Structure 1
Amino acid sequence: MTMPVTETGTSPWQAFRRSVAGKIFLTSKGGIAGCYLIAIILLALLAPWITPYPYDVQNLSIAARPPDLAHPLGTDEFGRDVLSRIIYGARTSLSVSITAIAVSVFVGMCLGAAAAYFGGLIDRIITAAVDLTWSFPEILIALILVAIIGPGLNSTMFAIGIAYLAQFTRLTRAEILALKSETYIEATIGLGASHSHIIFRHLLPNAMAPVIICGMLATGDAIILEATLGFFGLGAQPPVPSWGAMMSSGTAQIFKAPWIIIFPGCAVAVTVIAINLFGDALIRALDIRSKLRDG
C-alpha cells in the first residue's frame, strides 16, 4: 500500500515531518514532553469524571494511609485521596498559571509595542514602570501584591501576571524597535496607514513568536510561583486543592506520611521540566535563536 501524495509531490507523512508539530513531536524530548503536557491537561479538564474519589471528602479512619490498590498514591492527613487531589490540583495550578501568563503576555505586548512605536514620553514612562518591577524578584513582587490584595486564586493570578509583565514588555519593545526600521514598515507609514493598523497588522504579528515562546517557558516558572504562594497559604484556599497547598500540608507529615508531600512535588517538577523541554523543542523547530541572532 502506497502513501498518498499531495499536489506538491510530498506525502502527508513528509509534510508532517517538515511542519512545526512534526519537528517537535518527532524528537524524543519534545515528543515525550508534548505527550505528557497533553495528558496532564486532559486529566485536569476531565478531573470530575476520572478521579476515583471526591477531592474534598474526609475520612479520618483512613488518614495518612500509605499507597495501596484502593489509593494508589495514599491518603493525606484527613483521609482524602492524594491521587484525586493531585488531578484536581492540576486544574488549579495550570489554570492559574496559564491564565496569568496569557494576560501578562497580551498586556506586555501592547505596552511594549506602544513604547517602541511612539517613543518619547510614552516610552520613558512605560520603560521606567517595567524597569521598576524588573529590578525585584518575581516571588517578592507576588508576595507583596498577594499580601496587599489578600489570598485567593484571583489575587494569585493578578500577582503572577504583574510579576512577569516586565519581561514580555521589554522583549516586545526590543522586537518592535528592530522591526520599525524595516522597509515595508516605512512604506506602510508613507502610505498613510493608521497607527493601530501598523501596530496590530504589521508589527505585533512579526514580533509575536519570540514573545509567545518566552510566555510558554515562563508558564513553568509561574507554576512554581503559584506552588510557592500555595505553600505559604496565599494561593488557593481550602478545600480547593493546589499542588503547593498540598505540599504545605504535607510538611507536618513528612516523616510519618512522606507521600503527601512527595507526589505533589513530583507533579510540579515533572510538569515544569516538560514545559521547558517542549519550549526548547519549539525554539528549535521555529529556529528562533538563529532569527534573533541574525536580527
Structure 2
Amino acid sequence: MTAAAPRPGLLPAVLRSAPVLAFTSWKGAIAGSFLLLLILGALLAPWLTPYEYDVQNLPGAFQPPSLAHPMGTDEFGRDLLTRILYGARTSLSVSGVAIAISLFCGMVLGASAGYLGGRFDRAVMVVVDLTWAFPEILVALMLVAIIGPGTTGTLVAICVAYLAQFTRLTRAQVMSLKSETFVEAARGMGASGTAILFRHLLPNCLGPVLVAGMLATGDAIILEATLGFFGLGAQPPTPSWGGMMSSGSGLLFKGPWIILFPGLCIALTVVAINLFGDALLHKLDIRERVRSA
C-alpha cells in the first residue's frame, strides 16, 4: 500500500486568500468594488430601470441625459442606461465564459504536454504556435467568418484566440516543476502519472495561470466589443457594448452620448480588471509572503 507524497501547501492557501487580500490595497479595493457593482447591475438590470432594452419609442429618440434617462436615449428612443446594463450581461458573460473554457483547455493541454514531453508535446506546440503566430483579432475574425456572427461564434473565437497563451504558460510552469523534489517523492511512493499531474503539479501552477486568465478577460472584452462593432457579435435586438458603439458611430454629432457611454464602460471595465489583476498578482507573490511571514 502506497501513500501519496505531500505537496507544498502554500500556494493553494494563497489562492484561497488572495482575492480577499487584494481588496486590502487601494487599487484592488476600488477596482474590485467597481467590478462587483457592474456585475450586480447586470444581474439586477430588470429591477434597476423601468424601461425595456428592446422596446422602441421613436418620439423620444436622441434625448440627452436627464433625470428620466440618466444616459439619454438612442436613435430608436430606447433608454441607454438600460441597454448598457443589459449589454454588460452580454459582454461580460461571453468574455468570461470564453476565457474560462480557454483557460481550462489550455491548462489541460499545457500540463499534459509539459509533463509527457516527446511527440505529444511537439504536436501540441505546433498547433498552438500556429494560432500564436496570428493576432487574436485576426484569429477571431477568421473563426467568426466560418461559424457565423452571433454570441456562439464570438465565444468560440475568443476561446481559440487565447488558448495558446494559457497552454504555453501552463506548459512552462509544469516543465519547471516536474523535476522538483516533491514530484520525485510522489513518483517514488508509487503515485501514477495522472495523480502527479493533477494532484501535485497543476495546483502549483494555478497562481500565475489564473491571474493571466483574469488579465486576458479584459482583452477579451475589447475583442468582443470589436467583433460587435463590426456587426459580428451579438445580433440585434440583443444589446452589447460593441454593437451600441457601432450604431452610435454614425450619430456622433447628433447624439454623442450614444457612443460615449458604452465606450466609457468598456474602458473603465478593462482598467478595473487590470488593476484588480495586478493587485491579485501582488498578493500571489510567494517569496514576498514567505519573507513577511
Residue deviations 1:43-76 (CA, integer Å, cap 9, x gap): 1111122223100000000111111111110000
Aligned mate of 1:246, from 244, 248, 252: 244
CA distance in 2, matches of 1:263, 1:163: 27
Amino acid at match of 1:54: E
Are residue 59 (structure 1) and residue 57 (structure 2) matched?
Answer: yes
Q: 1:289 to 1:148 in 2, by over 3 A?
A: farther
Matches of 1:21 and 1:275 in 2, distance apart? 13
Counterpart of 1:20 in structure 2 is 18
Q: Which residue of structure 2 lines up, in the alignment, with residue 3 of structure 1?
A: none
Partner residue, 1:190: 188
2:144 aligned partner? 146
CA distances 1:8-65 after superposition (whole Å, capped 9, x unpaired)? xxxxxxxxxxx53554212211110000000001111111222231000000001111
Mind listing any 5+ residue stretches in structure 1 that lack a counterpart? 1-18
Distance 1:288 1:133 in 2: 32
Output the amino acid matched with 1:65. Q
Higher relative contact order (CA 8 A, sep 6+): 2
Q: Which residue of 2 aligns with 1:214?
A: 212
The 1-side partners of 2:133 and 2:287 are apart by 25
Correspondence for 2:66 among 53, 65, 68: 68
For 1:246 and 1:27, locate their aligned partners in 2 and report how far apart those are by CA, in whole Å: 34
Q: Distance in 2 between matches of 1:246 and 1:268?
A: 11
Seq. identity, %: 67
Aligned partners of 1:251 and 1:261 also within 8 Å: yes
Counterpart in 2 of 1:275?
Answer: 273
Q: Distance in 2 between matches of 1:84 and 1:113?
A: 43
Q: How do 1:70-109 and structure 2 match up within 5 A? A: 70-109=68-107
RMSD (Å), alpha carbons: 1.3
Superposed, 1:220-231 pairs within 5 Å as 220-231=218-229
Distance 1:52 1:243 in 2: 20
Amino acid at match of 2:41: L
Partner of 1:36: 34
Determine the structure 1 residue equivalent to 2:14.
none
Q: Name the aligned partner's letter for residue 105 of structure 1.
A: L
2:258, 2:218 → 1: CA distance? Answer: 22
Q: 1:58, 1:76 → 2: CA distance?
A: 9
Does the CA-based 8 Å contact 1:230-1:236 persist in structure 2? yes
Q: Deviations over 1:160-214 (max 9, x none)?
A: 0000000000000000001101011112122222222111111111111100000
- Equivalent residue number for residue 48 of structure 1: 46
- Runs (5+) with no aligned partner, structure 2: 1-16
When normalised by structure 1's length, the TM-score is: 0.90
What letter matches 1:60 in structure 2? L
